[in-house]
């Protein structure tokens, strides 16, 4: 985000991401009535309150796309729900733009990470490229799940993978409603909530980036671009 009203209850509690007058980096109306264009802009005007300082030893071309959108979207709830403690077993649903970063953060935190996906073709990427420990999981074995899928999907199979009294965190934001199986949530004491990133987490994620290798290498970039083109039907 690049601005907010700075005067409402949410802003007073440092929860500017819930401000009704929030100004997002992309496709929001700024105070002067112009539209924000994010990464498509030549220049950008940002309220100094929302400016994040990057240490000199962090490569901006690698850190900015990793940390300041998808990265914070998964980092913030992982920290909030205590899913950043070494030794815990984290499930990551989906291996898209949010999921692959969740795996990287999970390993950086010292977690055992299991990727849950219906695409078996992603098993090699999850384990060999991102460092996940397992692909799929068995019932009642996970301490928490980060659900990054943005399409409509059943939640019951995910809930069954969790231990009692653990967390299912939704960050994928499907456009259509999901069916919520309330009874197994009650019986298992499962806590379910969606959080949006806030500035304190951004600073912490940057500090973690300094100490861990979270960015993909240039040697695999060409392969990733070719796979994106293939998946989108370009080639």
What pLDDT score was predicted for residue 195? Answer: 55
Alpha-carbon dihedral 74, 216, 55, 81, rounded to 10 degrees? 20
| pTM as predicted | 0.75
200-210 core/surface letters (b: 16 or more CB in 10 A; e: else): ebbeebbebbe
Instruction: Assess whether 28 and 116 both reside in one domain.
Output: no
What pLDDT score was predicted for residue 217? Answer: 64
Whole-angstrom Cα distance, residue 115 to residue 118?
Answer: 10
In a domain, 4, yes or no: no
In a domain, 33, yes or no: yes
Contact 109, 84 (CB under 8 A): yes
Residue 203 tokens read as 């600073």
Residue 204 tokens read as 């912490």
In a domain, 200, yes or no: yes
| Phi, psi of 233, rounded to the nearest 5 degrees | 85, 10
Instruction: Give the total number of structural domains in the chain.
Output: 2
138-157 core/surface letters (b: 16 or more CB in 10 A; e: else): eeeebbbbbbbbeeebebee
Instruction: Assess whether 43 and 68 both reside in one domain.
Output: no
In a domain, 18, yes or no: yes
Q: Which residues contact 212 (CB under 8 A, 6 or more apart)?
A: 104, 108
What pLDDT score was predicted for residue 229? Answer: 76
Instruction: Assess whether 69 and 29 both reside in one domain.
Output: no
What pLDDT score was predicted for residue 214? Answer: 64
Instruction: Assess whether 40 and 68 both reside in one domain.
Output: no
Query: Which H or E element spans position 169?
Result: strand 162-170
Instruction: Assess whether 158 and 43 both reside in one domain.
Output: no
In a domain, 218, yes or no: no
Instruction: Assess whether 34 and 71 both reside in one domain.
Output: no
Q: What range defines the domain where residue 20 resides?
A: 9-50
**3-state class (DSSP) for residue 81:** coil
What pLDDT score was predicted for residue 234? Answer: 47
Instruction: Assess whether 100 and 191 both reside in one domain.
Output: yes
Instruction: Assess whether 35 and 106 both reside in one domain.
Output: no
Contact 193, 171 (CB under 8 A): no
* Tokens 């379910």 sit on residue: 192
In a domain, 177, yes or no: yes
Whole-angstrom Cα distance, residue 116 to residue 160?
Answer: 13
Instruction: Assess whether 131 and 33 both reside in one domain.
Output: no
Instruction: Assess whether 39 and 137 both reside in one domain.
Output: no
What pLDDT score was predicted for residue 212? Answer: 61
In a domain, 2, yes or no: no
Whole-angstrom Cα distance, residue 30 to residue 21?
Answer: 10
Instruction: Assess whether 184 and 158 both reside in one domain.
Output: yes
Whole-angstrom Cα distance, residue 27 to residue 37?
Answer: 6
CATH number of the domain at 104, please: 3.40.50.720
Low-confidence ranges of the chain (pLDDT < 50): 234-235
pLDDT, tens digit, for every residue of 46-105?
A: 999 998 888 888 777 777 767 777 888 899 889 989 999 999 999 999 998 899 899 999
Instruction: Assess whether 139 and 27 both reside in one domain.
Output: no
In a domain, 131, yes or no: yes
């Amino acid at each position: 985000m690049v601005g907010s009203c700075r005067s409402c209850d949410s802003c007073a509690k440092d929860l500017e991401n819930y401000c009704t007058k929030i100004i997002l980096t992309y496709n929001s109306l700024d105070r002067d009535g112009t539209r924000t264009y994010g990464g498509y802009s030549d220049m950008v005007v940002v309220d100094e309150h929302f400016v994040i300082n990057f240490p000199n030893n962090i490569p901006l071309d690698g850190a900015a796309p990793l940390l300041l959108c998808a990265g914070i979207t998964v980092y913030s709830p992982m920290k909030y729900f205590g899913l950043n403690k070494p030794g815990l077993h984290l499930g990551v649903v989906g291996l898209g733009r949010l999921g692959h970063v969740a795996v990287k953060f999970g390993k950086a935190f010292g977690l055992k990470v299991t990727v849950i996906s219906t695409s078996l073709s992603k098993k090699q990427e999850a384990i060999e490229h991102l460092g996940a420990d397992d692909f799929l999981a068995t019932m009642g074995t996970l301490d928490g799940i980060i659900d990054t899928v943005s399409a409509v999907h059943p939640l019951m199979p995910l809930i069954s993978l969790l231990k009692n009294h653990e967390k299912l965190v939704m960050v994928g934001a499907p456009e259509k409603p999901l069916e919520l199986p309330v009874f197994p949530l009650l019986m298992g004491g499962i806590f379910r909530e969606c959080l949006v990133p806030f500035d304190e987490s951004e600073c912490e994620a940057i500090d973690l980036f300094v100490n861990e290798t979270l960015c993909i290498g240039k040697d695999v970039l060409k392969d990733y671009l070719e796979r994106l083109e293939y998946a989108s039907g370009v080639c």
